[in-house]
Amino acid sequence: MRKVLVVEDDKFISAIFTMFLRELGHELIGKCADGKDAIELCHRLRPDVVLMDIHLEGEMDGIQTAEQLRRELDIPVIYVSSDTSSQVIKRAIVSNSYGFLVKPVNRKELGIAIDLAYYKHKVDQEQRERERGYRQFISEASMPLMILSEGRIQYLNNLALDLFKTHYMEDVLLSPYLNYVHHEDKEQVESLLDNFKAHGHGFDQINIAMQDVHGQSFFALISGSSIIFNKKKSLQVTLVDNSKAVYAHKRVELLLDYLNKLGQPYFITDARHKVKGVAPHHLFDNTQLLGLRINQLDEWFSSAGDGVLTFTNGDKQQVFMAEEVLDATGEVYELLYVPKIMPQ
């Protein structure tokens, strides 16, 4: 049984609705003929559904009354009218009503409309509650998150705002995400967004170059997953600032290129100081370094300070210093040992 309020200025039609509601097993909790009274009764009686004529007595018509009820009380309204002009229909659609019945209305149509409006409103309430919880979740999340719909930024948390170098969501809200992707990665990201739009598929983590609201470059690892946001299929994007790791890699690549061109010695270890690579240099002749930790190689290595090692092989000696290679979390995962005194 639903509690129903009837807002109708035609007494004959109001009487028919009263009879239909009784036969359908619903409770008629009130009747009125103008918008002002309807709002007052809804505040006092809190109906489950309102049957609303569009052309009412008084200053407010039914659509204006329904919009105020939605803002103030979130009560589902079903319009009942004989006016099906395009202007009225457009206004009714924009007002987010829960139904439109054309007079004359029979009992079966009325019963179906009331049940649909009631249950659709419940579903909408549950969805809004989930979205409120989700907004709170991403706002409090420990990583940068943003939500895209149709490729545009719909929401992002404070950590994501930090990456974009702004405190104001309005600076990026509703902007195409591609606006913040460097041109060399736009084609790849656009393909991922198109795939999501067509098939609803998220994507695994990739590294891309981006720019903040000031046009300054940074690198981010992004991954995407499908969610429902504002009743639409949307893409939740997780961003991890990867700039330190990328710049560290670029520095190491330049160093390796420089060392190889000059024929200089170097070696690489993992974070636990296990040797992973050794330059083809006479300094390392007749040694077995690969796969062993530095502390297992005291025949050749001795510490000369923090991050500094002295390598001795017979009458050949070289002091090396460590260059850190970082992963996406900023943790060291490799060490490149280069000559402490580099040739000019």
Give the Cα separation of 208 and 183 in Å (integer): 10
3 state SS for 28-76: EEEEECEHHHHHHHHHHHCCCEEEEECCCECCCCHHHHHHHHHHHCCCC
Determine which helix (DSSP H) or strand (DSSP E) holds 325, and give its type and residue range.
strand 316-326
Q: How many CA atoms lie within 13 Å of 72's alpha carbon, on the beta-carbon side?
A: 14
Is 79 a member of any domain? yes
Of the residues 202, 218, 241, the one at which a domain ends: 241
**Are 176 and 130 in the same domain?**
no
Q: In angstroms, what CA-CA distances link 46 with 25, 114, 332?
A: 18, 15, 61
- Comparing C-alpha atoms, which of 240, 180, 243, 155 is closest to residue 206? 240
Does the residue 200 lie in any domain?
A: yes
Residues of the chain with pLDDT under 50: 344
Three-state SS for 215-283 is CCEEEEEEEEEEEEECCEEEEEEEEEECHHHHHHHHHHHHHHHHHHHHCCCCEEEECCCEEEEECCCHH
User: What is the DSSP code (8-state) at residue 293?
Assistant: B
Q: Is 273 a member of any domain?
A: yes
CA–CA separation, 255 and 211 (whole Å): 26
Note whether 252 and 243 are within 8 A (CB). no
**Which residue, of 241, 266, 295, is where some domain finishes?**
241
With contact defined as beta carbons under 8 Å apart, do 157 and 146 qualify?
yes
Distance CA 20, CA 4 (A): 11
> How confident is the model at residue 342, as a pLDDT?
57
Write the pLDDT tens digit of every residue in 114-139.
Answer: 999 999 999 888 877 777 766 777 77
| 62 within a domain of the structure (yes/no) | yes
What's the pLDDT score for residue 344? 47
Same domain, 129 and 145: no
For residue 7, the enclosing domain spans 3-135
- 154 and 234 in a single domain? The answer is yes
Task: Tell me: do 96 and 209 sit in the same domain.
Answer: no
Residues 292 and 204 grouped into a single domain: no
3-class DSSP assignment, residue 338: strand
From edge to edge, which strands make up the β-sheet containing 100-102? 27-32, 3-7, 49-53, 77-81, 100-102
HSE of 84, CA atoms in CB hemisphere, 13 A: 6
- Provide the domain count of the chain: 3
7 and 82 part of one domain: yes
pTM above 0.85, yes or no: no
Give CA–CA dist 72/88, Å, rounded: 23
CA distances from 188 to 151, 191, 208 (A): 13, 5, 9
Tell me, what CATH number does 315's domain have?
3.30.450.20
